Structure 1
Amino acid sequence: MDGTSDSDHDPMGLFGRPLFNDPKARALSRVGVVDIGSNSVRLVVFDGAARSPAYFYNEKLMCALGAGMSDTGRLNPEGRERALQALKRFQALAEGMNLPPLTVVATAAVREAEDGPDFREDVLRETGLRIWVIGGEEEARLSAQGVLLGWPGSYGLVCDIGGSSMELAEIAGGRVGRRISSNLGPLKLRDLKGGQKGREQHIKEVMDKLAEHMGAQRDRLFLVGGSWRAIARIDMYRRGYPLHVLHEYRMDKKSVSQTVKFIKSSDLEELRTACGVSSARMDLVPYAVDVLKRLVQTFKPKDIAISSYGIREGLLYEQMPQELRDRDPLIEACRFAEAKDARLPGFGKKLFRFVSPLFSKGDKARMRLIKAACLLHDVSWRAHPDYRAETCFDNATRANLGGLKHSERVFLGLALLHRYKNKREGTRFEDLEGLLSEKLTLEAEVLGKALRFGAMLWMSDASADGTALDWKPRKKLLRLKLTKASVPLYGEVAEARFLSLAASLGAETEVVIKR
C-alpha cells in the first residue's frame, strides 16, 4: 500500500510548522484548525491528551460556498462573504484564547472555483490567515487518518462526503492505501440536470468507476461528513435508539435501506425538527441518501460505522510521531484525565493490579476497559456526593473518548456508576440497558464494586505490597489478603463494601492477614 505523501519527509509537515513541539509529548498544546468546506466553515480547538484530543471549542457556520458552482464556476457570493466574516470571528477568538496561529485548510469549493485564489487573497489581507488548499486525494488521505486517530489499526473503507465532493480511501494496518475523489457531493447533485432518474444514473456511473479504482472492499465502511451524520441521526430516530452519540454509531445494509425509505416517505421539515438537523443540512439529505444507497449496494460492507473524526483530526494524526500513533486513544485520554483530575494520580495503576484477579479470563478488549475504569475511578470526586454516580455514568457514555463502541461506553459508564452507588435502579442506565447483555451488566457491576472497595485502600507502596484479592470462581470464594500495614485500612465501611462485592459474585468471603 502507498501510505506516503509529499509531506512525509518534511519535518515541518504540510502546513509550514509542527503542531507538536515535543515529539514525545503526551499532552497536546491547545491548537486551532479551520476547515473551509463547500457547505460549512468550522473552527475546532483541540486540547487535552494528544492521542485522544478533547474539543475545547467547536463552532461552524453553514456558508454553502459551493452552491451554484456547477453553473457559474465561482464561489457563491453570499457564502463567500459569510465565510470571510466567520474567519474574522475565528481569528479574533483564537487571539482571545492565546492560540498559536490557526491552521486553515480548504477543500473542493475553493479548490475548484475560478475565484478561489481571489478568496484566499481576501482572507489573507483581511485576517492574516493563510489558507492551504488540499487536493482531492489529499483530502481523502487526511480524512482516513482522522479515522485512524479514533480506531488505530482499523481495516476498511473511509467515505468522506462534503458539499461538492466525496472521497474514498482504504485503511489497513494503521496506513492509508488507495484513495480517490469524486463529484458526488450533494451540492453538485442538487444542480444536476435530469431530475431523480438522471441523478440516480449519474451516481451509478460514478460509483462504478470508484469501485473499479478501489477494488473489492468488504470490511467496515467508515462514514465521515455532516450529511452522513444527519442520516445517522435520522436512523437513530427511526429505531428509537437510546444513546445519542454519533461517533461509533453502527448501521448495517438493512438499516440503511429502511432509513432511505423512511426519509423518502417523510415530511422533511417534521423530520428535521424531530432529529435536530439544521435546515441547510436537511436540504442536502435527499441527495446524500441516494449516494449512500448506491455506495452500500456497490461495496457491500461488512458493517457501517459513523466517524465524527475527519480532516481536522487527520491534521493532528499527520504530525504525530509513530510512537504517539501507536498508543491506545482510550487509555491515553483516561491517563490524561487521571493526571489532571484525580486526587491521587497514579493510584489507578495500583487499583488495576488489585481488581485484575477478578477478571483473569478477560480478553484484551475487556482488560482494556477495566484499565480505563481504574484510571477514571476518581476523576469526578468534585461532583456533589448525591450526583457522583450519575456524573460518572454521563461522562463515560457521552464524553469524547476515542476507540469505544457504544456497548463499551455503557459498560464503562455502569462500572463507574457502581464505583459510587450499589444499586442502579432509578438511574440513567435504565434507558440504555438494552445496549448491554445481562452477562456484561453483571460484570460491570462487579468491576464497579471492586473499584468502590479498592478505593478504600489508598495504599502506600509498602501496604500495597501483598494486599490482594484472590478469586476462586469454582469454589465461589473471594479471599482478601491483607498485610499488617494495610489492616488499619480495612475498617467497617471497607468491610461493608467488600461484602457487597462478594454478594454480586455470589461468593463466600475470607480475610487473611499475612504475617
Structure 2
Amino acid sequence: MTRVAAIDCGTNSIRLLVADLPGPDDPPGAPLGDLIRQMEIVRLGQGVDRTGRLAPEAIERTRTALVGYAERIESLGVDRVRMCATSASRDASNADDFRAMVLDTLGVAPEVVTGVEEARLSFTGAVRGLPADARPPYLVVDIGGGSTEFVVGGAEVESAVSVDIGCVRMTERHLHGDPPSADQVAAAEVDIAEAVDRALAVVPGREAATLVGLAGSVTTVVGIARELPEYDPTRIHHARVSYEAVAKVTADLLARSAAQRMEIPVMHPGRADVIGAGALVLRIIMERAGMTSVVASEHDILDGIAWSLA
C-alpha cells in the first residue's frame, strides 16, 4: 500500500486529499482509498488580474492553511506528496515568494503546472468511475477561480486547452455590484462567450456526448438545482442537471446580493461573492457547446494529482 497526499492550490481555494493507492491485490479499476478530503478558501488570486502580483495577505492565508495540511500529512504517515499550483501563481510576478513559502511550510516545492497539464490532471480524476449513462467522448470542464480548463477525450485525453475565465477573475473584472447590474452581467457574458468560443475552436467540445463539470462552482450550482438541505458531496457526485435548471440557478444567483446567497443551504461562505460568475461560466459553456445537461463530479484535479503519484 502506498499512501499519498495531493494538494491543489487554485485561485480561490486550497484542497488536500490523503488517500491510499490501490495495491497489486486490488481489482482493476479499484478507486482511491480516501482518508481525508479538506478544503479552505484562501483566495490566493486576490487582485492578481489587476495587479499581476500575489497579495501578501493572500500568501499568508495560504501559509496558514498549509501549516494545518502539513500536520495532517505527517500524522497519517504519507509516503509521497505532490502539490500543484494553478492559475493565480502562473500569472503572478512574485511567484518566487509563494514558492519559497510553500517549500518552507510543507517541505515540498509547489509545481506551477501549465493550463494544459492542469486540464489533463482534471480529466484523469474526473472520468474514472463515471456512471454508465455518461457516454464518451467527454467534454470535461474545470471552472476554477482564475481559469477554466476544457478537455475532450474518451479513455484518455485527446485535446486540452485552458482559458483565463474563472469565478474570481470574472467577478473582479466585471461583476462589481452587489448584486451586479444588468450591464455588468452583459459585459461578463461577452467576455466569457469569446473565451469559450476560443477554447471550443481548439478542442472539439461540440462533438462530445457528455459534459462533465468540475470544481466548486459546478457542484454548488448542482446542489442548488437539486434543492439540497445542505452541501452533500455524495448526492452531488455524478448528479445530472439540465441546461434549463442551470440557467434558472444562474439568473437567481446574479439577482441576489452576497448576503442573500449566503442564505442558500449549500453555499460555502467563501464562495458566496463569486458563485454568480462561476454559474455564468457554466451556463455559457453549455450554450456554446450545445449541451443539454451537465454531470457533476466531486473527483477532479485533486484525484488526478493523487493518481499521478502511483
TM tier relative to shorter chain: 0.7 to 0.9
1:5-42 alpha-carbon deviations (Å, 9 max, x no partner)? xxxxxxxxxxxxxxxxxxxxxxx522111111111111
RMSD: 2.5
Give the deviation of 1:151 after TM superposition: 2.6
Residues 149 and 317 of structure 1 are in contact (CA less than 8 Å); yes or no, is this contact kept in structure 2? no
The change in CA–CA distance for 1:132 and 1:188 in structure 2 (over 3 A counts) is same
2:9 alignment partner in structure 1: 36
Residues 163 and 186 of structure 1 are in contact (CA less than 8 Å); yes or no, is this contact kept in structure 2? yes
Considering only CA atoms, is the larger Rg found in Structure 1 or Structure 2? 1
Give the deviation of 1:72 after TM superposition: 1.1
1:388 alignment partner in structure 2: none
Residues 222 and 304 of structure 1 are in contact (CA less than 8 Å); yes or no, is this contact kept in structure 2? yes
Q: Does 1:175 align with 2:148?
A: no
Give the deviation of 1:269 after TM superposition: 3.3
Amino acid aligned to 2:188 = R
Which whole-Å CA distance do the structure 2 matches of 1:79 and 1:293 have between them?
29
Q: What is the aligned counterpart of 1:72 among 51, 61, 85?
A: 51
The change in CA–CA distance for 1:222 and 1:46 in structure 2 (over 3 A counts) is same
1:95 alignment partner in structure 2: 74
1:87-113 alpha-carbon deviations (Å, 9 max, x no partner)? 122112211222124211111111211
Larger relative strand fraction = 2
Residues 16 and 69 of structure 2 are in contact (CA less than 8 Å); yes or no, is this contact kept in structure 1? yes
Amino acid aligned to 2:144 = G
Residues 66 and 105 of structure 2 are in contact (CA less than 8 Å); yes or no, is this contact kept in structure 1? no
2:272 alignment partner in structure 1: 282
1:54 alignment partner in structure 2: 33
Residues 47 and 55 of structure 1 are in contact (CA less than 8 Å); yes or no, is this contact kept in structure 2? yes
Q: Does 1:107 align with 2:86?
A: yes
Amino acid aligned to 1:312 = L
Amino acid aligned to 1:195 = Q
Name structure 2 gaps, 5 residues minimum.
24-29, 175-182
1:150 match: secondary structure: coil
Which whole-Å CA distance do the structure 2 matches of 1:54 and 1:123 have between them?
26
1:178-217 alpha-carbon deviations (Å, 9 max, x no partner)? 1100011111111215722221211121122122222333
Larger relative helix fraction = 1
1:273 match: secondary structure: coil
TM-score between both structures, scaled by the size of structure 2: 0.86
Give the deviation of 1:270 after TM superposition: 4.2
2:221 match: secondary structure: helix
1:141 alignment partner in structure 2: 120
1:332-376 alpha-carbon deviations (Å, 9 max, x no partner)? xxxxxxxxxxxxxxxxxxxxxxxxxxxxxxxxxxxxxxxxxxxxx
Which whole-Å CA distance do the structure 1 matches of 2:162 and 2:233 have between them?
33
Which whole-Å CA distance do the structure 1 matches of 2:229 and 2:246 have between them?
11
Which whole-Å CA distance do the structure 2 matches of 1:243 and 1:136 have between them?
26
1:300 alignment partner in structure 2: 290
Residues 5 and 82 of structure 2 are in contact (CA less than 8 Å); yes or no, is this contact kept in structure 1? yes
Which whole-Å CA distance do the structure 1 matches of 2:210 and 2:58 have between them?
35
Residues 251 and 304 of structure 1 are in contact (CA less than 8 Å); yes or no, is this contact kept in structure 2? yes
Name structure 1 gaps, 5 residues minimum.
1-27, 321-515
TM-score between both structures, scaled by the size of structure 1: 0.53
The change in CA–CA distance for 1:198 and 1:267 in structure 2 (over 3 A counts) is closer
Q: Does 1:166 align with 2:155?
A: no
Greater RCO, CA 8 A, separation 6+: 2
Question: How many residues align structurally?
Answer: 291
Amino acid aligned to 2:45 = G
Which whole-Å CA distance do the structure 2 matches of 1:227 and 1:63 have between them?
16
Which whole-Å CA distance do the structure 2 matches of 1:65 and 1:121 have between them?
15
1:198 alignment partner in structure 2: 187
1:155 alignment partner in structure 2: 137
